[in-house]
Chains A and B, each alone.
Chain A
Amino acid sequence: MEAFLQILVNGLLAGGIYAVVALGFSLVWGIMNIINLAHGAYVMMGAYIAYVLFSSFHLDPFLSIPIAFVVMFAFGYGIQRGAINYVVRAPILVTFLLTFGLSLLLVNVALLVFHGDIKGITTSYNGANFSLGNVVVPIAKLATLGAALAITGIMQIFLTRTKTGRAIRATSMDIGAAQLSGVRVAHLYGIVYGLGAGLAGVAGVLVSLSYSLQPTMGDPFIIKAFVVCVLGGLGSVEGALVGGLVYGIVDAIGSQYIGTGLSDAVALAVLLIVLIVRPTGIMGKATA
C-alpha cells in the first residue's frame, strides 16, 4: 500500500510538469489548429534561460519563471507574425512541416551556442525532501506542481476574464465573426502563439529543476503533450491540467505494474482507447 501511495505521488508530481508542457501546446492547437512541433524546442529554450540566469546571476529557477515567460512570449509572437501567419490557412500539414523545420533550426542553434554537453541547475534544495509516513516527497517537485497549478489558474482567468482572452476564445469559435467585430486576427494569433511559447518556456524552467539540459531535451515532451491534449481535450486549460495529472499517474502505475520498459506503450495504449471510445477527450466537449 505504501509502495502504491509512493507511486501515486511520483505520478502526480511528474504530471504537474506534463500539464504545463501540454497547456501551451493545447492552446495553439485548439485555437489555431496548428500542431506545433517546435514546442519541445521552446521547452528547451526556457530551460536554457533558467540555466543562464542561474549560472550567471545565481537567480533561483522559480524566480526566472516570469523572465522566461516574457522572453519566450516575445519570441513566439515574432515567429507567428514573421512566418506562421503566412501559411496559417494552408492545410494542417503545411504548418506541421513549418514547425518541424523551426524545431530543427532552434535545436541546432542551441547546439552551436551551448554545445552538446549536459548541463544542470544545482540549487541548494536540490534533492531535498520530506516524509509523510513512508512516502517521500521531493520539495522541488512539489513546488513544481504548485507552480503548475498556479499557472493553470492564471491562464484560466486570462482567457475568461480579460478582453484579449475573450477575443481569443471568440476567434477560435468563429474567425469570420471575430474579424467582423474588429478583432485583428494576425495580432491575436501572434498573442496565442506567444502564449504557447511562453508557457513552454515556463515548463522548460520547471523541467530544468529535475531534468538535465541538452539541446535535444525537448523532444520527448512533444509526444507527452500530444497524449495529454487528447486525454484532456483540445484548447481546454483545465483539460490540460487534468490530462497532465492523469498521464503522470497512468505512466507511473503502468511502469510499476506492467514493466518499466513499457511505460510509453501503456500510456499510448490508454491514448488509443480514449481516442476510439471518446474522440474529444475525457473532458472534451462533443464537437467535431
Chain B
Amino acid sequence: MSLAVVVVAPTAMLAPAAADDATIVFGAALAATGRDAREGALTKDGYEFWKDYVNAHGGMKVGGKTYKVDIKYADDETNPQTAARLVEKFIDQDHVNFILGPYGSANSASTAAVVERKKIPMVEGNGSAEKIFSQGFKYTFAVLSPARRYLEGILEMALAQKDKPKTVAVVAANDAFSLEVAQGASDYAIAHGLKVVYNNKYPADTTDVSSIVSAIKATNPDVILNGGHLQDALLLQKGFKEQNVAARIFGYSVGPDTPDFRKTLGSVAEYVYGGTQWSPTAKYKGAAGFIGDSKTYAAEFEKKYGHVPDYHNAESTATCLAFQYAIQKAGSLDPLKVRDALQALDVVTFYGILKFDSRGINVYKPMAVNQIQKGNLVTVWPTGVQNAKPAYPTPDWAKR
C-alpha cells in the first residue's frame, strides 16, 4: 500500500496537461544541466521564438480550426536514458501531440526508439549522425544536413582558391557525430585528390590535446579539420597557437559559430573556418506562414534574445516549421497523417529547403562556411550567400 503511494504520488501530482481542444502541445526534452546545457538553451530559444511568433500571429489553422501552440519542456540532463524516459512521459502522461527533438545525436537516437514505438512523429534539428536513421525508423525526421557534410564546404571552398591545398589532417572526438563529420571530410578530400596525412580520434571528454597538436604539426598539413564540440575546438585552437602550428586552413565542425568561441580565444580565433547549417546572410525566399528571410529572422531574434541567432537557434526554429507546414498540409492532428505529410514535405523556409529522404534526413539543404574575420563571423561560402571573400590562406601566427 505504502508502495503505491510512493510510486504513484509523484506522477499523480502532475496535472495531466491533456491538450485542451484549442491547443497543439509539443514535448521537448532538452538539457538544462550537464555537458550540453548551453546548447540545450540555444535549442529552447529557437523553439520558443517559433511558438511566440505563431501565437502572436493568431495561432495555427488546421482543418478549419484555429489552435494555439504550446511546448512542454523537461531537463534531460544531457543523458540519453533520461531523454528517452521524458519523451515516454510526454506521450503517455502529458498526452502531447508531437515531439520536438532533444539536443545531440546520442539523445536523438534514444528518443527516436521511443517515438517509433509510440507512433508519434518527432522532428529534430540537433542530431545529425546518420546512425540514428540506420534502423529504418518511420517517425523521426531531421531538418539539418547530415554530419558528414559539415566540413565538405570548407574543402570545396579551399579547392576553388588559386593556391590549392594538397594535404589534409583530420582529427575527431570519439563520438557518433564527430566521427561521421571526420569520415565525411576525409572521404571528400580523398575523392578530390587531396592527401589525408593525419586521421585520428581522441576521447570525447579530453582535457589535454597537446600531444595531438604535436603529432599534427609533425605531418605539416595544409588544411587542419576537426570534428568535435566547442570545448575541443577551443583546446585545439589554443594548442595550435601554443605550438606555432602553421596551416592554410583551420576548420571546425562546432565552435566558430558560437559567440563563446570568439570571446574566449580573442585574436587566436582569427581566420578560423567553421561549417554551418545556416547563416544570417542566407538568401532563401521562405513560404508564407512564417518569417520568410534570414535577415528578418536574425533581426527579430536579436530583438527578443539580445544576440544574433546562431545556427542552433535557426535549425531549432526550422524544426518547428517542419511541423507547422506538415500539420497544415495534413489538415489534422492525427499522428499518422502528420507523419505522412512530413515524409512528403517539400517547402522552402528562411533556413533553406525542408525535405526528407526515405530515411528521414534532410539531404537536400547545402551547408555554408563561416569565417572569423576581424572579430566578426562572416559567411564566405558558397559564393551565392557569401557576405565576404574567404581570407585565404591563413597567415603565420605572428601576423594575426
Contacts and interface: CB of A to CB of B under 8 A. Distances in A.
A/B: CB atoms within 8 Å of each other: yes
Tell me whether chain B's interface is mostly helix, strand or loop, or mixed. Answer: helix
Interface string B229-257: 01100110010011110000000000000
A260 B38 contact: no
Interface in A104-144: 108, 111, 115-120, 122, 126-127, 129, 131, 136, 138, 140-141
A10 interface: yes
Nearest to B78: A216
Contacts of B214: 3, 6-7, 10, 256
B2 interface: no
A224 B207 CA distance: 10
A121 B395 CA distance: 24
Given A138-B242, A261-B174, A3 B234 contact: no
B211 A116 contact: no
A266 B264 CA distance: 31
B205 interface: yes
A56 to B, nearest CB: 15
A47 B341 CA distance: 50
Contact of B211 (A118, A131, A256): A256
B234 A118 contact: yes
A14 interface: yes
Given A129-B243, A136-B243, A122 B265 contact: yes
A82 interface: no
A73 B169 CA distance: 45
Q: How large is the interface on A (under 10, 10 to 19, 20 to 34, 35 or more residues)?
A: 35 or more
B268 interface: yes
B38 A116 contact: yes
Given A118-B230, A211-B207, A261-B174, A127 B242 contact: yes
Interface string B181-216: 000000000000000000011110111101110110
Given A108-B33, A117-B38, A127-B268, A141 B212 contact: no
A27 B83 CA distance: 39
Nearest to B241: A127
B211 A120 contact: no
Contact of A119 (B205, B243, B264): B264
A122 B40 contact: no
A124 to B, nearest CB: 9
Contact of B201 (A140, A252, A261, A264): A261
A178 B243 CA distance: 51
Contact of B244 (A14, A136, A212, A214): A136
A115 B38 contact: yes
A260 B202 contact: yes
B243 A263 contact: no
Nearest to B229: A118
B65 interface: no
A116 B37 contact: yes
B244 to A, nearest CB: 5
B162 interface: no
Contact of A127 (B34, B201, B238): B238
A120 B230 CA distance: 12
Contact of A131 (B34, B201, B244): B244
B34 A216 contact: yes
B266 interface: yes
A212 B41 contact: no
A31 interface: no
B9 interface: no
Contact of A260 (B200, B230, B238): B200
Contacts of A14: 208, 210
A10 B243 CA distance: 10
Given A7-B211, A118-B38, A212 B264 contact: yes
A58 B41 CA distance: 29
A62 interface: no
Nearest to B208: A14
A172 interface: no
B134 to A, nearest CB: 22
7 shortest interchain CB distances as A-B pairs: A116-B37, A120-B264, A127-B241, A116-B38, A138-B242, A10-B210, A122-B266
5 contacts: A111-B37, A115-B38, A126-B265, A127-B268, A136-B244
Given A108-B33, A119-B263, 17 more contacts: A11-B211, A14-B210, A111-B33, A118-B230, A118-B231, A120-B260, A120-B264, A127-B268, A129-B243, A136-B242, A212-B231, A212-B234, A260-B171, A260-B201, A260-B212, A261-B174, A261-B203
